[in-house]
């Protein structure tokens, strides 16, 4: 809520500052053109238009803040629901514990945990802990001294925490392993072997993220309350996104890297040029991020919204820009405006593309959770997480190849790729003309010209060489019959 107000204030401030700047420009222009009533009238009209557009911008900003506020409320509701779910789960666990340890009179676990733990320890004593022997043979033994299974006697928590700790510990162990392997990979002398090891580590990383994603569901699996529906309800979008990103590594990571790089360059330049459109872009981007949920496609109208906003600005500002000379800075501002538009378009479409992948990934999860729910209903246990993950992979192949084969994805994917390249080219060109041109280095454009010249020269040389060789052969062929003729003579 507070955040929403802050961003709303910020946007309003930006819009107000921008409006004041334009007011100032209008006043100055009017002073300059005081002898030209017609021009003054045009300025007044366009100024009015601009003021209208400022109001509509403000309205848009307020609406966006309201949406954010609404989203926050929704999130709070979700948190409340999760809390209720937890309470329910706790009760289920207690029922389970009471049944298992034949102590129906325990009013609540916290009242006297010792009795419960004593029974639990007794129970464990009858079944030698299989982890203990496994740990002894493990090279990471020393690093696992504090795991909950090895210190069962000192555990003062209930079975609920046991499951939680188990999953958290497993996660810590997996994280730790990943860190070690990332370090180890530096020791390889052969690149293919190193890549293979890296691939194996990546595979486990993806498996870990899958594990992490399922962690909240372990409790409900343990108390047999797991259903496909409860899975989808407790799916953590952030963790889900991290898992899918780890699977389709190339797409979000590479895209983000590039966008980060471009954003840095963009921001640097815009600091100098100070163009209102950029502020609009930033606020737009931040609003989009805030509204980026998994339940509805937030991108379908985003581009239209942005376009309307841009058109309002352009309509208001264009009469003014006609009065200014087409000098270097004005041209640059226009170019950066176009880049700005392109960047927004890329961001929207790239997000939409990723959204398609996440959405289809949910289909895969849905099918998998159905399978797990059925398995549990039949009284089967989940013995292998790797098997579960492999099931995800197989189902994923079916769903994702169907998606990738579809027209919607194909079109969008190629469009995003094209936008990305155009954006990079436009920014590279600007960097070249603004900064690199004054540096004692060859620019990309200059190098391309050199490459073209070399290519043409090489081609010409090869053609001449072939012509020369053909002529030589022809002459040799001519020489032979002449000799024969002279002999006859």
* Residue from 91, 260, 397, 446 binding another protein (CB under 8 A): 397
For 181, the token pair is: 């392997």
Task: Name residues contacting another protein, limited to 354-383 (CB under 8 A).
Answer: 376, 381-383
In this complex, which beta carbon is closest to another protein, that of residue 32 or of residue 141? 141
- Residue 327's CB is within 10 A of a number of other CB atoms, namely 8
**Would you give the binding string for another protein spanning residues 124-143, x where CB under 8 A is met?**
------xx--x---xxx---
Tell me how far, at minimum, the Cβ of 461 lies from another protein, in Å: 11
Shortest spacing between CB 425 and another protein, in angstroms: 4
CB 206 → another protein: shortest distance, Å?
6
Q: What's phi and psi for 390, nearest 5 deg?
A: -65, -35
Determine, following the binding rule CB under 8 A, whether residue 393 of this chain makes contact with another protein. yes
Best CA proximity match to 357, nearest among 421, 300, 412, 314: 412
For the CB of residue 343, give the shortest distance to another protein in the complex, in Å: 15
Q: Does position 418 bind another protein by CB under 8 A? A: yes
Whole-number minimum distance, CB 10 to another protein, in Å? 35
Among 218, 239, 286, 367, binds another protein (CB under 8 A): 218
CA angle 196, 200, 203 (to 5 degrees): 135
Candidates 442, 454, 460, 464: give the one binding another protein (CB under 8 A). 454
Report the alpha-carbon distance of residue 58 to residue 67 in Å, rounded.
Answer: 14
Distance CA 471, CA 465 (A): 10
Q: Rounded distance, CA 46 to CA 315, Å?
A: 8
How many residues contact another protein, by CB under 8 A?
Answer: 78
Of the pair 148, 298, the CB lying nearest another protein is at 148
User: Can you tell me which residue has the tokens 């009238």?
Assistant: 41
Nearer to another protein, 107 or 128 (CB): 128
Instruction: Report phi then psi at 444, rounded to 5.
Output: -60, -45
CB of 108 to another protein, least distance (A): 24
The residue within the footprint of another protein, chosen from 3, 34, 334, 458 (CB under 8 A), is 458
- Answer for which of 421, 442, 457, 464 binds another protein (CB under 8 A) is 421
CB of 456 to another protein, least distance (A): 8
Q: Which is nearer to another protein, 59 or 448 (CB)?
A: 448
Please choose, from the candidates 113, 170, 117, the residue with its C-alpha nearest in 3D space to the C-alpha of residue 140: 170
Quote the CA–CA distance of 105 and 176 in Å, as a whole number: 42
Using DSSP's 3-state secondary structure scheme, residue 35 falls into: coil
Binding of another protein by 77 (CB under 8 A): no
Which of 414, 435, 437, 471: binder of another protein (CB under 8 A)? 414
Nearest to 165 by CA among 239, 222, 112, 107: 222
Least CB distance to another protein at residue 130 (A)? 5
Nearest distance in Å: CB 165, another protein: 11
For residues 318 and 401, which CB has a smaller minimum distance to another protein in the complex? Answer: 401
Burial track 120-143 (b if 16+ CB lie within 10 A, e otherwise): beeeeeeeeeebeeebeeeeeeee
> Is 100 in contact with 224 (CB distance < 8 Å)?
no
Longest dimension (CA), the chain: 134
Rounded distance, CA 43 to CA 322, Å? 11
- Footprint on residues 154-213 left by another protein (CB under 8 A): 163, 166, 170, 173-174, 177, 181, 184, 187-190, 192-197, 199-204, 206-207, 211
Task: Kindly identify the residues of this chain, within the stretch 96-115, that bind another protein according to CB under 8 A.
Answer: none
Choose among 344, 375, 323: nearest CA to 217: 375
Determine the interface stretch with another protein among 20-28, 55-63, 78-86, 421-429 (rule: CB under 8 A).
Answer: 421-429
Q: Which tokens belong to 73?
A: 């409320």
* Residue from 273, 286, 422, 436 in contact with another protein (CB under 8 A): 422
């Amino acid at each position: 809520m507070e955040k929403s107000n802050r961003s709303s204030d910020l946007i309003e401030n930006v819009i107000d500052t921008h409006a004041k700047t334009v007011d100032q420009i209008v006043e100055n222009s009017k002073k300059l053109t005081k002898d030209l009533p017609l021009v003054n009238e045009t300025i007044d009209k366009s100024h009015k238009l601009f003021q209208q557009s400022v109001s509509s911008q403000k309205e848009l900003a307020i609406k966006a803040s309201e949406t954010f506020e609404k989203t926050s409320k929704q999130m709070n509701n979700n948190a409340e629901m999760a809390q209720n779910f937890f309470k329910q789960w706790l009760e289920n666990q207690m029922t389970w514990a009471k049944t298992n340890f034949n102590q129906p009179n325990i009013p609540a676990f916290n009242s006297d945990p010792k009795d419960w733990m004593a029974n639990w320890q007794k129970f464990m004593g009858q079944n030698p802990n299989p982890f203990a022997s496994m740990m002894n043979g493990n090279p990471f033994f020393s690093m696992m001294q504090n795991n909950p299974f090895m210190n069962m006697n000192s555990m003062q928590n209930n079975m609920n925490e046991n499951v939680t700790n188990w999953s958290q510990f497993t996660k810590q162990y997996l994280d730790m392993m990943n860190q070690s392997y990332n370090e180890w990979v530096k020791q390889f002398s052969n690149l293919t072997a190193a890549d293979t090891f890296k691939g194996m580590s990546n595979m486990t990383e993806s498996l870990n993220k899958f594990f992490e994603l399922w962690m909240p569901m372990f409790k409900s699996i343990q108390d047999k309350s797991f259903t496909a529906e409860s899975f989808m309800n407790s799916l953590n979008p952030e963790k889900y996104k991290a898992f899918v990103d780890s699977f389709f590594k190339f797409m979000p990571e590479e895209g983000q890297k590039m966008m980060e790089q471009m954003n840095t360059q963009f921001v640097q330049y815009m600091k100098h040029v100070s163009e209102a459109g950029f502020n609009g872009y930033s606020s737009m981007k931040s609003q989009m991020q805030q509204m980026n949920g998994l339940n509805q496609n937030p991108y379908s109208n985003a581009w239209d919204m942005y376009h309307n906003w841009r058109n309002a600005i352009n309509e208001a500002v264009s009469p003014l820009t006609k009065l200014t000379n087409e000098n270097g800075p004005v041209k640059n501002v226009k170019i950066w405006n176009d880049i700005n538009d392109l960047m927004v378009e890329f961001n929207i479409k790239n997000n939409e593309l990723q959204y398609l992948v996440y959405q289809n990934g949910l289909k895969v999860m849905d099918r998998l959770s159905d399978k797990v729910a059925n398995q549990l209903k039949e009284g089967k246990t989940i013995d292998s997480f790797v098997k579960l993950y492999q099931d995800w992979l197989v189902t994923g192949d079916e769903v994702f190849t169907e998606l990738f084969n579809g027209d919607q994805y194909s079109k969008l994917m190629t469009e995003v790729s094209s936008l990305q390249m155009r954006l990079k080219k436009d920014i590279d060109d600007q960097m070249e003309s603004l900064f690199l041109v004054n540096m004692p280095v060859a620019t990309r454009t200059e190098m391309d010209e050199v490459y073209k010249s070399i290519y043409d020269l090489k081609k010409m040389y090869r053609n001449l060489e072939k012509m020369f060789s053909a002529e030589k052969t022809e002459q040799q062929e001519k020489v032979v019959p002449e000799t024969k003729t002279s002999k006859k003579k």
